[in-house]
Amino acid sequence: MAKNIIMYGPPGTGKTYLLQSLMNDYIDYDIDDTTIKSAYVAESKEWILITLILLQNHGKMSANDIQKKVDSLSLGVRINVAAELDLHNIQTAPIAAVKRELPRVFMEVETNKWYVDLVRVQQAKADFYSRFLSSSKITRRYNFVTFHQSYSYEDFIEGIRPEYIEATKSIDYSPKPGVFKLLCKEAKAHPEKEYAIFIDEINRGNISEIFGELISLIEIDKREGETGALSAILPYSKNVFSVPRNVNVYGTMNTADRSIDQIDIALRRRFKFIPMLPKATVIQSELELKGIDATNIGGVDLIKLFKTLNYRIELLLDSQHLLGHALFIGADTVEKIANVIRESVIPLLEEYFYDEIQKIQLVFNDLDDSGELKTHAIYRHDEIVADDYFSYTGDYMIDDKKHYHVSDNITADSLKQIYQ
């Protein structure tokens, strides 16, 4: 059955990462056994061998089936597939005695069905595609677009876009198909396969204008071949158009830009909405992959810091503007945590609290009981006294102001002060 899904949440909660992972389900890799054997001979890395076998077989296999495939390649060595899958398993080991090793790229997504996370594979080996798949045919069964204020129906479905024809020295004004119409044409030609359109930042565009009549046609029971199937005559080409049942629609929505209750009700009725919330456990597990205890990074409890910041933001603002865990996943030293605060967190907070910038000091716990700056304050201020800069102001009343700025020296004590 077709899927219409929108993943929504604050920035940095893994929405785009999830889209990238889902895209791998819509890619066909035409990989022959010679390519797989050559890769293993060149690298002697079992995880690369298993990754290529999974890609050759469309992504999900049991450990037993992978083992049979490995044995059939006659590599001259005995490889224990189950042990290798467990060694490079993304999931946390159930007990400390179970060994894990980088890169951790495999996950058991169903009972004894293993999946490879290609995003992690590329992070571990940046030249993976160019090194091992350059001679293989890769067919993508998806399109990816990002909505913005200038994105239109003509880009998405169809429209008139002038095209200069060199042969006739003339301009062609015939209707041109948009990305979604092209995808639907491909999907109709291959009904045995699933296709997908991935829409990043779906709430940044004018959704009603971009989707047009498609807003009704994408309903699951209105797809071509369903009992309630609908079609429409497109305004430019006058062609009859319907959406095939093998096309899935995925979108992401940043709630810091626009909350879910502001989305067109027609769209909300036709999509399943999945919340993507900040998760401290993701930070903890990702740092654990590197052998780092997120509760004690140079004396700083990153998990407590992350949770405290978000609790304060929710109390001062709302839950739509929380900090995403992706901001802190790579923060494995005090210096890196400080850089995330300085370069990512504070710019976000300055945007969120634009008219009440003094509240940022409350987020960081920078003020003592009397309202004075603490010694290790992160978001500091200087008093600008008007009389110090003007000898005469005439009829103007110029108030004293506070000039806010980030501390030049964010230390472990500064960070611990946030949650202590």
Query: 191-215 pLDDT, tens per residue?
Result: 999 999 999 988 888 888 898 888 8
Q: Which of 167-171, 212-216, 254-258 has the highest mean pLDDT?
A: 212-216
C-alpha to C-alpha distance for 406 and 98, rounded to whole angstroms: 44
Cα radius of gyration rounded to whole Å, the chain? 27
Assess whether pLDDT exceeds 80 at residue 264. Answer: no
Within its chain, how far is the Cα of 129 from the centroid? 21
DSSP 3-state of 78 = coil
Residues 122 and 128: beta-carbon distance below 8 Å: yes
Assess whether pLDDT exceeds 70 at residue 356. Answer: yes
Residues 59 and 119: beta-carbon distance below 8 Å: no
Distance linking the first and last C-alpha atoms of the chain: 51
Q: Given this model, what pLDDT does residue 261 score?
A: 53
Q: Given this model, what pLDDT does residue 377 score?
A: 95
For 5, other C-beta atoms within 10 Å of its C-beta total 15
Kindly state the tokens that stand for 204: 């940044």
- Which CA distances in Å does 128 have to 14, 188, 290, 398, 404? 23, 32, 21, 62, 46
Assess whether pLDDT exceeds 80 at residue 348. Answer: yes
Strands (E), 261-308: 272-275
Q: Given this model, what pLDDT does residue 259 score?
A: 53
Q: Given this model, what pLDDT does residue 300 score?
A: 96
Within its chain, how far is the Cα of 69 from the centroid? 33
Angle at 239 between CA 233 and CA 241, to 5 degrees: 65
Tokens 């839950």 correspond to 319
Q: pLDDT class for 17, splitting at 50, 70, 90?
A: confident
Q: What is the pTM of this model?
A: 0.84
Average pLDDT over residues 296-300: 96
Strands (E), 212-269: 232-233, 240-241, 247-254
Q: What is the mean pLDDT of the chain?
A: 90
Residues 243 and 224: beta-carbon distance below 8 Å: yes
C-alpha to C-alpha distance for 223 and 244, rounded to whole angstroms: 5
